[in-house]
Amino acid sequence: MGAINSLFHLIKLEKRLYWSVERLEELRHVKLAALLTYCYENIPYYREQFKTIAAQPGDFNDFEDLSRFPILEKETLRERSEEFLNPQTNRAKLIHYRSSGSTGIPLDLWYHPSERLRMGFTVTRELLFNGHKPWHSIVNVTEPRHSSPKNRWYHRLGLMKERFLSVYDNTELNLDRLAEIQPELLIGFPSVLLLIGEQLQNTGRLSWRPRLLFTLAEVLTQSYRENLKRCWGIEPIDMYGANEVGHIAFQCSQRNGYHINADSVHVEIIKDGKQVADGERGEVVVTNFDLRAMPIIRYRVGDVAEKIAGGCSCGCNFPIMGNVAGRSDGFIVGENGKIYSALEISLLLKAVKGIKQFRLIQKQFNQVMVEYRPAADNHNPENGISRILKDRLGESVDLKFSKVNEIPRESSGKIRTVISELKHPYGSD
Ligand SMILES: [Zn+2]
């Protein structure tokens, strides 16, 4: 895409944020119809699904009708990835991306170069809407496979210049680099930005602060939010996305849930195969309207979020979804069946002094392993943690403690604070 086209496209995308609900719905319907027709005509996997449910693209008049389509599971996308590609497509012209896969088994994804570019524009729109200026510098602390420095026309003009640091690099080293670059905008995983922020506070050697702090990839708990604000002096703005479907939603200055990028994705929040009511939690299922190299219809992303009603006063008319509470397999279940997400566990443990970091793993019902990093070597927070967890999860819960030097990162580079090895509570089976 040339310079003029790119600029035109970005301006077009930004204007949509202020469109009326009716105008947005009209675009979404046109896009949904085009996606279904394309998949019916070209994609072997979806042809088969249309056949199974005895339907044709013209049978889908509204988004409610989409629920006739079976939910696409990660395993299906992984095992049958070839069937999601148009057999007529020249594979050499596509971009291949191998996702690390949350379960450790990689997922092969394919994109047209223009799709990657448009995904990038969606992120740029989120940043600009939240006050970023194109001439300000960006540092993104990420998993190295996501580092993709490009030399596009606007980079050559000094616009949207993004530098990448690795989440695996030593915190001190990352801080040195940041001090040198002094970016106006900092993007990264909450856990990593907090480590760097704490180092920054401890050394007190920097006189700069970024103007904006964006987080992504991990659950932004209340504790992360408060501690990031304490270290960096600004409150983070969270973004939500997945490699398979692009950026799904973003926070605005109101931080009242997340605005769904409704011009490019359709989001359903589902429990037991049905849409949940407002105020309830369910699994996030996403359809992307724009992907054609590897189209994605009703994909179970693997996260649990809340469905909320109402709009936002920030000026953007894109619909709102509630906080992402955690991965579907990231919940602790108490003895009375009550479910606690990473958000809630973090809020509970905030009351215990002296924990720097923690991770809870529910091995089986009534058995939870607690890994923690104490704030000081001579401090033992186990009694405090035990009191709070037993109060909520039940007196009979068996807690096994383990003091660790570091909470390990997943193959995706993320840190998960709550992991469950039980059958997860939001699934359809
Ligand atoms: Zn808003």
- CB count in 10 Å sphere of residue 127: 21
| Together in a domain, 306 and 336 | no
Residue 429 lies in a domain: no
Cα of 130 vs centre of ligand 1, distance in Å, is 10
Tell me if residue 255 falls in helix, strand or coil: coil
Tens of pLDDT, residues 230-284: 999 999 999 999 999 999 999 999 998 999 999 999 999 999 889 999 999 999 9
| Together in a domain, 290 and 396 | no
- Report the C-alpha gap between 117 and 121 in whole angstroms: 6
What is the token pair recorded at 418?
Answer: 């709550």
What is the residue range of 232's domain? 1-328
Cα of 140 vs centre of ligand 1, distance in Å, is 23
| Together in a domain, 268 and 410 | no
- Percent of the chain exceeding pLDDT 90 equals 63
What is the token pair recorded at 208?
Answer: 């700069």
Tell me if residue 362 falls in helix, strand or coil: strand
What is the token pair recorded at 328?
Answer: 């579907």
| Together in a domain, 78 and 199 | yes
| Together in a domain, 250 and 264 | yes
Cα of 25 vs centre of ligand 1, distance in Å, is 18
Show the 3-state SS of 285-346.
EEEECCCCCCCCCCEEEEEEEECCCCCCCCCCCCCEECCEEEECCCEEECCCCCEEEHHHHH
Q: Is the pLDDT of residue 160 over 80?
A: no
CB 354 within 8 A of CB 295: no
- Number of domains forming the structure of the chain: 2
Closest CA to 291 of 248, 349, 324, 338: 248
Residue 72 lies in a domain: yes
Cα of 313 vs centre of ligand 1, distance in Å, is 6
CATH label of the domain that carries residue 182 = 3.40.50.12780
Cα of 219 vs centre of ligand 1, distance in Å, is 19
Q: What is the pLDDT of residue 350?
A: 84
| Together in a domain, 8 and 126 | yes
- Strand 320-321 and strand 258-260: the pairing is antiparallel
Residues 6 or more apart in contact with residue 322 via CB below 8 angstroms: 257, 258, 281, 305, 306, 307, 308
Cα of 345 vs centre of ligand 1, distance in Å, is 27
Mean pLDDT of 309-317: 91
- Strand 355-364 and strand 367-374: the pairing is antiparallel
CATH label of the domain that carries residue 383 = 3.30.300.30
Question: Measured in whole angstroms, how far is the alpha carbon of residue 78 from the centre of its chain?
Answer: 19
Cα of 323 vs centre of ligand 1, distance in Å, is 13
Mean pLDDT of the chain: 90
Residue 324 lies in a domain: yes
| Together in a domain, 307 and 371 | no
Residue 426 lies in a domain: no
- Report the C-alpha gap between 369 and 221 in whole angstroms: 20
Tens of pLDDT, residues 40-72: 999 999 999 999 999 999 999 999 999 999 999
Instruction: Say which residue the tokens 């103007």 belong to.
Output: 211
Cα of 280 vs centre of ligand 1, distance in Å, is 20
Q: Which residue(s) pair with 188 in the sheet?
A: 141, 215
Cα of 39 vs centre of ligand 1, distance in Å, is 33
Long-range contacts: 146-152, Cβ < 8 Å, 24+? Answer: 152/6
What is the token pair recorded at 49?
Answer: 């699904």
Residues 6 or more apart in contact with residue 182 via CB below 8 angstroms: 137, 208
Highest averaged pLDDT of the listed ranges 19-33, 331-345, 351-365, 406-420: 19-33
Confidence of residue 170 (pLDDT cuts 50, 70, 90): confident
- Report the C-alpha gap between 178 and 298 in whole angstroms: 40
CB 100 within 8 A of CB 145: yes
| Together in a domain, 348 and 319 | no
Q: Is the pLDDT of residue 73 over 70?
A: yes
| Together in a domain, 324 and 337 | no
Q: Which residues surround ligand 1, an ion (CB under 5 A)?
A: 252, 254, 312, 314, 316
- Report the C-alpha gap between 289 and 242 in whole angstroms: 15
- Report the C-alpha gap between 243 and 26 in whole angstroms: 27
Confidence of residue 213 (pLDDT cuts 50, 70, 90): very high
Question: Domain boundary at 296, 328, 360, which?
Answer: 328
Cα of 255 vs centre of ligand 1, distance in Å, is 7
**Rg of the chain over all Cα atoms, to the nearest angstrom:** 22
CB 165 within 8 A of CB 177: yes
Cα of 316 vs centre of ligand 1, distance in Å, is 6
What are phi and psi for residue 40, nearest 5 degrees? -65, -40
The reported pTM is 0.89
Cα of 223 vs centre of ligand 1, distance in Å, is 22
Q: What is the DSSP letter of 351?
A: T
